[in-house]
Every structure is written in structure tokens, then in C-alpha cells.
Amino acid sequence: MTRHGTVSAFLSVLMLFVLVSPVIAAPTLDLTTTTPTDNIVVTPNQPNTETTATAGLDQALAEADLAVKQAQAERIKQELDMLGDELERLNTDYYAESAKLSAIEGSLNEARDKLRWYEAELDAQRQVANDRVTEIYKHGDVEPIDAILNNTSFSELFTRLSFLLKISEQDEQLLQKLQNQKSKVEITKKALDDLYAQQKEITIELEGRKKAIEDKVKQESAILASIDSETKKILDEERAKQEQAQAELVTKLTQKTQKDTISLQPGSICYEAIQYLGIPYVWGGEDPKIGLDCSGLVKIVFEKFGVDLPHFAASQAQLGAPVRYEGLQAGDLVFFGSPIHHVGIYLGEGYYIHAPKRNDFVKVSRLSDRNDFNCARRIISVIPGQ
């Protein structure tokens, strides 16, 4: 056992010597070779190998750090884009429920007015009926038959009997009218109760959707707050590049020397729309000083031409005249999603302007880049004065 241990130790030392000896021998000068001193060339300012290696390492680390930051910026951008898509869908649902609520509130107001009118009419008819009953009770409209026969001629008898029968028909009509009016009141009250129930249900639904939107916004804010200064700088630079690219694209598309040229004649819908390029996206926004969303952009553009559109893409898609994809003209509205959740204004030559989503801005995009085109509508066929 001891001999075996000694052999193992010897072999280990020998192997270590073999591995280390080239390193030890490397800097040793060969003393047997004589080199004339006048053949030695001295290179001035020869760089230090260690310094060069350190500089190379620092550069490599800096490039690696930049790559990490860029990857982080891209990941954050993707997360924000996904959140933006989710928020757009939530916003659309919220707008849809809000539109339902507005319609119900309008129906409620109409039903309340109708109920007040029906109840007033019912009260008036009741008063007429009460007066008629009182008159019959006090005076009576039917005289004893003997008195009629003894005191009147046959012609007078016929006239009085006809009158009494007519009075009877009028009373029957009065009662029927009263009953019909009462039914109208009851039906309207039932409709009001149903509308109130729907109003309550939709209000609860809206609160839930609002909470979901607020949660997404908080999530988005948390992501933005977690961004370090270097990553934020990368994102800001990317945004600046996008804005510059937008400006160059618009310039290119409007140059008359280009094959594909968009007409931006002053006073046109398209000309008005591009005035809002670069405005940041703000949910529910319809004030350019603050921000715009997709339907808000469309709304304020068409207001310039005397058209009042609802601030809801799906509602805007119900207006105007339908247009086939192949027949699109500048100024038409293009809608996306199923159900519809986005809208833009067609500029021509395959481009449209829109407010895409949060953390973005009003921009021009290519229609063919989207795969969720739904439909198009023409709100204004001819602009007055053009």
C-alpha cells in the first residue's frame, strides 16, 4: 500500500514537471548563439502587450454590455407593445360597454318621458270616467220605459233610444281607452325596470373593465420605472429614429418625382390628418395638446369638415358608405380587428395614418403590413369647395 502511494506521488510530480517545464524554459536565452549587436533593431514606442490586451478586454466588455442593454431595450419594447395591444382591446371593450350604457340611458330618458305622458293621460281619462260614473249615479241616463212611452211620440222615442245607445257606446269606448292607457303605463314601467337592470349590469361591467385597464397601466408603469438610464437612452434614440423615419417617409411620399405619390392638397382630409403626425397616443384622447387615440384622431379630423363622429371605432364603422379594399380612396376610413378595435385614415398608395397604441405616436403605416384589415367606410364623398 505504501509503495503504491509512493509511485502515485512520483508520477504526479513527474507530470507536473512535464507541464511546467515548457513555461519555465520559454524565456531562457540560447547562450550558444551569438547575435551581433549591430543587427539588433529596436522599435520605438512598442506597445505594451498587457495594456493592449486590457484595452481589448475593456472594449469587448463595453460591447457586450451594450448588446445586453439593447437586448433589454428590445425585450421591454416587446413587453410594452404586448401591453399596448391588450390595452387597445380592453379600451375597445370599454368603449363598447360605454356605448351600450349611453344607448340605455337614452332609452331610459325616452321611457321616463313616455311614462310621464302616459300617466298624465291615464289620470285625465280616469277623471273623465269618474265624472261619467258620478253623472250616471246622480241623474241617470235611462228613464223608466213607461214614462218614455207615455210622454213621447214614436219619433221622439226612436231618437232618445238611439241617443242612449250612442251614450252606451261612448262609455264602452271610454272604458276601453282607459284600460289601454293603463296597459301602456304598465308596459312602460316594465321596460323601465328592465333598462334599470341593464344599466346596473353594464355599470358593474364597466367598473370591471376599468379596473383591468388600470391594472395594465400599472404594469406598464412598473416596467417603465424599472428601466435604467442607459436602456432608456436606447429606447429614446429608437423613438427619435422612428420619428425621423416618419418625416422622411412623408417627404418621400409627397414628392411629385416619386412613382407612388400621395396627394396632400391643402383643405383635404389627408392634409388635415398629417398635421397631427408625432402626437403621442393617449387613451381616450381627442385633444392634440394632450394626445390622441385612433378614433380620437379620426374624430377631430372630420370635425374640421363639419362631421361629428362618435369617439369609438366600432361605431364609426357603422357610418358612411361601405368601400371595397380595391376601391379605397384618400380620406376613407380603414378598420382593423374582429371585432373592430382600430381605425385609421387612408392616404393613398397603400398608406394610412393612425394613432397605433400606447407608448407610440400618430404615424403613417403601410396597409399591407397588417393582416387584420376588416372593412372600410367613406364618410365624405366630396368635400365642399374642392
Fold of 74-225: Helix Hairpins (1.10.287)
Q: List, for residues 164-207, the tens digit of each pLDDT value.
A: 555 566 666 766 777 787 788 888 888 888 888 888 888 887 78
Q: List, for residues 308-329, the tens digit of each pLDDT value.
A: 998 889 889 999 999 999 999 9
* 307-312-317-321 Cα dihedral, nearest 10 degrees: -10
Active site residue 294: yes
List the single range of 20-24, 211-215, 266-270 with lowest mean pLDDT.
20-24
Catalytic residue among 294, 311, 341, 375: 294
Catalytic residue among 270, 311, 341, 354: 354
Q: Centre a 10 Å sphere on the Cβ of residue 294 and count the other Cβ atoms it contains.
A: 26
Domain residue spans in the chain?
Answer: 74-225, 229-378
Residue 146 has pLDDT above 90, yes or no: no
CA nearest neighbour of 357 among 304, 315, 296, 289: 296
List the single range of 2-16, 251-265, 334-348 with lowest mean pLDDT.
2-16
Q: Which CATH architecture best describes the domain 229-378?
A: Alpha-Beta Complex (3.90)
Give the up-direction half-sphere exposure of residue 372: CA atoms within 13 A in the CB hemisphere: 11
Residue 303 has pLDDT above 80, yes or no: yes
The kind and range of the H/E element at 377 are strand 373-378
Distance CA 128, CA 219 (A): 67
Residue with grid cell 506521488, as numbered in its chain: 9
The kind and range of the H/E element at 335 are strand 333-336
The kind and range of the H/E element at 347 are strand 342-348
Active site residue 342: yes
At residue 11, the pLDDT reads 43
Q: 100, 202 in Cβ contact below 8 A?
A: yes
Average confidence score pLDDT of the chain: 75
The mean pLDDT of 101-112, rounded to a whole number, is 84
303 to 289, 323, 355, 362: CA distances (angstroms): 16, 21, 17, 18
- Most confident among 32-41, 50-59, 211-220, 320-329 (mean pLDDT): 320-329
Task: Mention every residue, 6+ apart, whose C-beta is less than 8 A from residue 18.
Answer: none
At residue 172, the pLDDT reads 67
**Which pLDDT band holds residue 89 (cuts at 50, 70, 90)?**
confident
**Which pLDDT band holds residue 22 (cuts at 50, 70, 90)?**
very low
Residue 276 has pLDDT above 90, yes or no: yes
**Which pLDDT band holds residue 38 (cuts at 50, 70, 90)?**
very low
What nine digits make up the cell of 41?
533593431
List the single range of 46-50, 94-98, 353-357, 370-374 with lowest mean pLDDT.
46-50
What nine digits make up the cell of 374?
376588416
CA nearest neighbour of 72 among 249, 235, 239: 235
Sign, Cα dihedral of 277, 282, 286, 290: negative
The mean pLDDT of 281-294, rounded to a whole number, is 90
Catalytic residue among 270, 311, 341, 342: 342
Assign 376 to helix, strand or coil. Answer: strand
Q: List, for residues 108-145, the tens digit of each pLDDT value.
A: 888 888 888 888 887 887 787 677 667 655 655 544 44
